[in-house]
Structure 1
Amino acid sequence: MSIYVGNLSYQVTDEDLKQAFAEYGKVKSVQLPTDRETGRPRGFAFVEMETEEQETAAIEALDGAEWMGRDLKVNKAKPREERSPRGSWGGGGRSGGGRGDRRY
């Protein structure tokens, strides 16, 4: 299980998060997603701690806390939902279609 950390400053780094969460236990990993176009952090992260007790302590201490000028949103991360592949917009079920496809 991992922790979702939202409402992060765009200046935050992996190392900043590791230091902030290390106060509550051993940090196993930090994922700080970035925007594909700008390379800038997207304003949220996922942190994985060594034990569930450490995760709970970090969540209780940091949820709603002010850090780097922002009020953090910290909770257990929800499992990633399945998404349909990009570009598959359905298609209406008719093959061919179009006005010129009428048969009289």
Structure 2
Amino acid sequence: MNMYVSNLGFHASDADLRELFRPFGQVSSAKVITDRFTGKSRGFGFVEMSSAGDASLAIRELDGKDVDGRRINVSAAKEREDRSARRKW
């Protein structure tokens, strides 16, 4: 299950995100999204866990939790929209 994590501190790394979710089960991937020009965090990321049950537990336990002075939001990630479908020239 893939999860969306927002309101991360701007110094958060992939490893930090992985460690935050590790107590809830096996983390398949953890990625903090960065600005393509500056390389700095954009304040959100994605975490994938192999078990939907583990992911549900992580969402319940971490959503709204204070991490580094910021209240993070954790939810199930939505499927990515096809950007070409949005263009209406």
Q: Does TM, scored on the shorter chain, surpass 0.5?
A: yes
Superposed displacement of residue 89, structure 1: 6.8
CA distance in structure 1 between the partners assigned to 2:57 and 2:88 by the alignment: 43
How far 1:68 sits from its partner (Å)?
A: 1.0
Deviation string, structure 1 residues 4-54 (Cα, Å, up to 9, x no partner): 000000000111111110010010001211101110011000000120000
Q: Aligned residues, how many?
A: 88
Identity score, percent: 43
Give the structure-1-normalised TM-score: 0.79
Query: Which has more radius of gyration?
Result: 1
Unpaired runs of 5+ in structure 2? Answer: none
The equivalent residue for 1:24 is: 24
Query: Counting strand residues as a fraction of each chain, which structure ranks higher?
Result: 2
Q: TM-score, normalised by structure 2?
A: 0.92
Question: What is the RMSD of the two structures over their aligned residues, measured on CA atoms?
Answer: 1.4
1:58 and 2:58 correspond: yes
Query: 2:43 matched to which residue of 1?
Result: 43
Aligned residue in 1 for 2:75? 75
Aligned position for 1:7: 7
Q: Measured at CA, do residues 35 and 59 of structure 1 come closer, stay the same or move farther in structure 2, by a change above 3 Å?
A: same
Contact 2:18 2:27 in 1 (8 A): yes
Report what 1:34 is aligned to. Answer: 34
> Higher relative contact order at CA 8 Å, sep ≥6: structure 1 or structure 2?
2
Partner SS, residue 42 of structure 2: coil
Secondary structure at the counterpart of residue 33 of structure 1: strand
Unaligned runs of 5+ in 1: 91-104
Q: Which runs of 4+ in 1 moved over 2 A?
A: none
